[in-house]
Chains A and B, each alone.
Chain A
Amino acid sequence: MLKNITKLAFCLGLVNGTFVVCSQQKNNNVLNRNEQYNFLSENELHNLMKKHKNLSILNRKQTEHILSLIRDTNADIVSFRKNADRLIRILMEQALCQIEKKKYVKQSPLGLYEANEVKYDDEEICIVSILRSGNAFLNEGLKVICGASIGQILIQRNEETSMPKYYFEKLPEDINQQQIILVDPMLASGGSASMALQLLLNKGVKQENIIFLTLVSCEQGLNKVFQQFPNIKIITAQVDPILLKDINYLAPGIGDFGDRYFGTIKKNTHPIKV
């Protein structure tokens, strides 16, 4: 009888062993969510900025804290929105400061001074958002530039092929005479951004008049956009190191910004308190 028991134990041990090995193999093929990503170093960021003259990356000290709260997967929706709005406000102010300024002489209560003011009125600035996630920028955008016009382009990325698909657009009629701030939270492969930029160019907008704002981007996306449109300006809060090939998501990235900001996918369902 002892022999049978030992045989049984041996078989169980084998089964268990194969199970452990197989599950480890499976984990190696599936996206390992516990992987640690390191951000680009200062050197690499400098190199990027030297390579692309029209690229601006926000100062790391300004954005470290806020971005870290946004990236956190456990962030609840209210704090996600609050911090995203803070970061978007910083980006918007940066964009405004890069619009052409004109010199005047004005009078302060004590005397004259040289005034450098943005050359254009509020109405000559147009914020174009790439629906759906880009709409998150409009909240803060309208607070900064109350009189700006707003244009919208709906481009959705097909989840399987990662190819962008154009659905719909509504842009001001005189858009070819306006200063454009194009907004989209993520710049991954650059497919949707290129499609939107091409649309704007078809409407007669000049490249020098476009500023593209994005929260997180990656090198491949930046290269692609600058290759096709070398004269636009891009302002990003941080450049992530990796673009995951299969799903074309940035890593560590933010996840799907639109879903997190608009709350359309709930990961952790809280029990309804009675």
Chain B
Amino acid sequence: MFKNLIRIGVNLSLFNSTYVLCKSVKDEKLPHYHFLNDQDLNKLLKKHQNLSIIDRTYTEHILSIIRDVETETVEFRKNSDRLIRILIEQAISQIEKKKHVKQSPLGYYDAHEVKFEDEEICFVSILRSGNAFLFEGLKAVSGASIGQILIQRNEDTALPSYLFQKLPSNIKDQQVILMDPMLATGSSATLALRILKNQGVKQENITFLTLVSCEQGIEKLFREFPKIKIITAQVDPILLKDFHYLAPGIGNFGDRYFGTDKKSQQTVQQQ
């Protein structure tokens, strides 16, 4: 009887070890991404003069919560709004300012104020994900006009298709802040920028805001539109070729913010 017991024990331990081995092999399939270091980021900034990357200490914590696959919708929205607010304040700080002399309760001071009024600033959002930026945008600039361009990326070909637009009629006289959470291949952004160009907007008047971008996307935009400004919170290292998704990225920002795809908690894991 002891022999049988020993046999059962050996079999069980064999099963157990194969299970542990297989599990660890499967876990190894989940890639571990490392972010770009400060040197690489500095090189990027030198290469493109009109690019701004927000200071890492500002954005590390918030971005880490947003990227987390376990984050619930409410937390995701709260933290995205925080990050979006930081980006929008950065964008407004880069708009041309004018010097006045004003009077404080104790004396005169040099006043540097944004040259344009609220109504001369226009937020253009690339539907659907770009709409998430509008909530915070309106809090920061209450009188801004809002334009919308609907561009959807065909999931199979990854090519963008233009569906619809509604822009202010005087948009060529306005300071435009174009918004889209992700900048991957840069094709949707390029399409939107072309539409703005056709409406007569000058490149110097456009600031493009995005949460996460990648080198390829930034280069493509700057090649065709060298004079726009781009402000991004972080530059991710990898653009996955087949899916054209950023890695580690955020997943599908629109689905996560608007809560339309609860099953997409498992982000793209195949390579």
Contacts and interface: CB of A to CB of B under 8 A. Distances in A.
Interface of A: 76-78, 81-82, 122-123, 126, 131-132, 135, 138-139, 142, 146-152, 154, 156, 167-168, 170-174, 258, 262-266, 269-270, 272-273
B226 interface: no
Contact of B170 (A146, A151, A156, A269): A269
Given A77-B119, A81-B142, A264-B145, A148 B259 contact: yes
B contact residues, range: 35 or more
Given A77-B143, A132-B148, A264 B166 contact: yes
Nearest to B264: A173
A123 B73 CA distance: 9
Contact of B163 (A138, A149, A167, A264): A167
Contacts of B69: none
Nearest to B173: A272
Nearest to A172: B260
A123 to B, nearest CB: 7
Contacts of B135: 138-139, 142
A123 B122 CA distance: 32
Given A147-B72, A156-B164, A139 B169 contact: no
B66 to A, nearest CB: 16
B128 A152 contact: yes
Nearest to A151: B260
Count chain B CB atoms within 10 A of each CB in A77, A131, A264 and give the residue with the most: A264
Contacts of B222: none
A262 B146 contact: yes
14 contacts: A77-B145, A126-B259, A132-B148, A149-B258, A149-B260, A150-B258, A154-B164, A168-B164, A170-B258, A262-B146, A263-B122, A263-B168, A264-B146, A264-B166
Contacts of A263: 119, 122, 143-146, 168
Contacts of B78: 146
Given A170-B128, A264-B147, A264-B168, A272 B259 contact: no
B146 A78 contact: no
A150 B260 contact: yes
A150 B146 contact: no
Contacts of A154: 150, 163-164
Interface in B58-101: 72-74, 77-78
A172 B255 CA distance: 9
A266 B131 CA distance: 22
Contacts of B168: 263-266
B150 A262 contact: no
Given A171-B260, A264-B166, A81 B120 contact: no
Across the A-B interface, give the 8 residue pairs with the lowest CB-CB distance, nearest first: A263-B145, A149-B259, A262-B146, A150-B258, A264-B168, A172-B260, A147-B74, A78-B143
Interface in B219-271: 254, 258-263
A131 B258 CA distance: 14
A168 B143 contact: no
B174 to A, nearest CB: 10
B53 interface: no
Contact of B262 (A139, A173, A264, A272): A173
B158 interface: no
Given A132-B166, A146-B74, A150-B260, 18 more contacts: A77-B119, A77-B145, A78-B142, A78-B143, A81-B142, A122-B74, A132-B148, A135-B131, A147-B74, A149-B73, A173-B263, A262-B146, A262-B147, A263-B122, A264-B145, A264-B167, A266-B168, A272-B120
Contacts of A123: 73, 259
A175 to B, nearest CB: 9
A173 B265 CA distance: 13
A167 B260 contact: no
A270 B145 contact: no
B187 interface: no
A139 B74 contact: no
A77 B123 CA distance: 14
